[in-house]
Structure 1
Amino acid sequence: MGYCPCFGFRKGKKLKGDTDEEKDVGKTTIRKPEENVAQLSSEDGTNAENKAQTFTFRELATATKNFRTDSCIGEGGFGAVYKGKLGSGQQVVAVKKLDQTGLQGEKEFLVEVLMLSLLRHPNLVSLSGYCAEGEQRLLVYEFMPLGCLADHLHYPPPGKEPLDWNTRMMIAAGAARGLEYLHHEADPPVIYRDVKSANILLGEGFFPKLSDFGLAKFGPTGDRSHVSTRVMGTHGYCAPEYAKSGKLTAKSDIYSFGVVLLELITGHKAIDSNLGREKHLVEWARPFMKDHKNVAQLADPQLKGRFSVSVLKKAFEVASMCLREDAGARPSMRDIALAMDYLASRPYNEPNETNKVEVKGSGDNSPDETTMLNKELERERAVAEAKVWGETWRDKRRQGTP
């Protein structure tokens, strides 16, 4: 069982070969990373205003107790991640030590330094700095104490309570806001390309942040509709049109977000042997996308029914739209973030004894009947929610079925 408190089980799993149009950043010679970041920034029409701090290898070796095994908190596709303490020990960080076995690790180093120097948002993990001393390539990030979403969903420690419904919706809303920033506010826009539960890190209060930007690409600009690139990502999350053609758009991220939302709803992994013959979560859930009547059956059993059925149905509706096979019919990340904020603002409150009113049957042979006042209130809330939801999503649903 992998542990991914910082960067997931595996990153950037290659699905297909290169295309002729791939810009091979990995072939750039590294002398000083800041020089290459400036070079890449100018090529992409950007300016890295927020320069990351440079560290010496000795500083990071000291911070991680010389990269001792007991400091290792995770393994990524291109290196191990260590917990460290800088300076006087007041600043706790995560240090990723890249495995220099090929150009891909070098490329990811450059891309992460570039992207996280350019991008700033509460729902993106912060890059504290880097080291490029000799052959060493290390990245220093803020430490996220609660690990990654994948561990909480799929590999919870014995005796630990599963994530409740409200926390799941809060995490989904935060991840959506991070992606909204990348797609609509970053200039130029950024396609994340590796949306998955292992790359959503959790801070205090389960505050979510997107991590691991080694596969990120600047989105198309001008008249271009897509970016042609080799297909990278993780099986189970990759959008079908991208996997087939190598044509990358923001809609590829939206498909992957839909998979993560399905994980949050069902508790299943993107590829899960427990799903029987299908194994792929999306294909397993596809029949429910055509008929939403029995959607509540999809809910993670670990929730034990502690969720609002109406909100679950709406969350599944959002996931279904994200997973449409026609990429053009998927909603924008801005619309998705709006929807997820709405759902996160409708928390589930468990019924309690003060909400219950007991009503006795009038006839001798009538059984005692117990009704709960909160059920009536729930119906009223559901009607109000349906009106707001309908106004927001009516046009989206007319675009077609998933």
Structure 2
Amino acid sequence: MGTKGIKIAVATAKGVANLLHDCVPPIIHRDIKSTNILLDEEYEEKVSDFRVARVSEISSRGSEFSCFAGTHGYSAPELPYTSRVTDKTDVYSFGVVLLELVNGRKPIEEGYGEGKYLVYWASTHLNDKGSVLNILDQRVVSDLVRDDMVKVLRISSLCTTKLSNLLASMKKVVKMLNLNLEHLVFKQL
């Protein structure tokens, strides 16, 4: 994960933030996942697949939708238990995408231990520096990008905390990723 990966993450975060914060009324995508982030020949991202997206009421309480939507492994943990969907739904899903980016593994697979979920597995390793390094994709981590990958990992954890009211906003996620991108670009000069 280098500058291109961060640029893709920043562009995707900006796209999701635009849907959630700049559209009137807001649009909740409800299925943010890595396979719904398409890249053109110049690696410009496009968020795709709006089949389950919904226009939201302008309310901090969110909107009520009659059916569960999203992809297992990317969906916020509270979604199966509530019909209320907020912008935090997309923040959580984007956090899973960031986690995939730094880890290189799918959000659900064997080998994560209890629950088989990448988010759960990663959260059990976040408090110990040596353990945090084990979360990173060993195929791409190097001394040059290790610290930046850990920063993105920390941002993903702010997006995937269990309590939705504690999740970062997409605007804040964009700011944090932009700071990381500026650091990466400066480091390469």
Match among 270, 280, 283 for residue 107 of structure 2: 270
The alignment yields a C-alpha RMSD, in angstroms, of 2.1
Amino acid at match of 1:343: N
Q: Which has the higher helix share?
A: 2
Which residue among 270, 286, 300 is the counterpart of 2:123?
286
Matched, 1:305 2:146: no
Deviation at 1:308, TM superposition (A): 2.5
8 A contact 1:308–1:348 mirrored in 2: no
Question: 1:240, CA displacement in angstroms?
Answer: 1.0
Indicate the larger mover: 187-196 or 278-287.
278-287
Q: CA deviation at 1:204?
A: 2.4
The percent of aligned pairs where both chains have the same amino acid is 33
Q: Which has the higher contact order (CA 8 A, sep 6+)?
A: 2
User: Are residue 225 (structure 1) and residue 61 (structure 2) matched?
Assistant: yes
Deviation at 1:348, TM superposition (A): 7.4
Number of residue pairs the alignment of both structures matches: 187
Q: Taking structure 1 as reference, are residues 331 and 350 closer, same or farther at Cα in structure 2, changes over 3 Å only?
A: closer
Superimposed CA distance per residue, residues 159-213 of structure 1 (whole angstroms, 9 cap, x where no aligned partner): xxxxx42222111111100011001111111111000000000012321110011
* Matching of residues 159-308 of structure 1 within 5 Å: 164-222=1-59, 225-229=61-65, 230-292=67-129, 294-305=131-142, 307-308=144-145
| Rounded Cα–Cα distance in structure 1 between residues aligned with 2:30 and 2:143 | 33
Amino acid at match of 2:164: A
Residue 25 of structure 2 aligns with an amino acid whose one-letter code is: P
Aligned equivalents of 2:162, 2:144: Cα separation in 1: 29
Change in 2 beyond 3 A, CA 1:337/1:295: same
Name which one, 1 or 2, has greater alpha-carbon Rg: 1
SS at match of 1:201: strand
* CA shift for structure 1 position 277: 4.7
Match in the other structure for 1:336: 173
Q: What SS does the aligned partner of 2:19 have?
A: helix
- Aligned pair in 2 of structure 1 residues 249, 304: CA closer, same or farther (>3 Å)? closer
**Per-residue deviation, residues 357-389 of structure 1 (Å, max 9, x unmatched):** xxxxxxxxxxxxxxxxxxxxxxxxxxxxxxxxx
**Letter of the 2:156 counterpart:** A
TM-score, structure 1 normalization: 0.44
Residue 300 of structure 1 aligns to a residue whose secondary structure is coil
TM-aligned CA deviation for residue 350 of structure 1: 9.5
Tell whether the 8 Å contact from 1:165 to 1:306 is kept in structure 2 after alignment: no
Note if contact 1:251-1:332 (Cα within 8 Å) is conserved in structure 2: yes
| Change in CA separation of 1:281 and 1:185 when aligned onto 2, cut-off 3 Å | same
State the SS of the aligned residue for 2:46: strand
Contact preservation (8 Å) 1:176, 1:336: yes
1:347 paired with 2:174, answer: no
- 1:18-57 equivalent positions in 2, closer than 5 A: none
The 3 A distance-change label for structure 1 pair 201 and 277 is same
Structure 1: unaligned runs, 5 residues or longer: 1-163, 352-402
Q: Show structure 2 runs of 5+ residues with no match.
A: none
- The residue type paired with residue 76 of structure 2 is A
Task: Return the TM-score normalized by structure 2.
Answer: 0.90
- Who is 1:363 aligned against? none
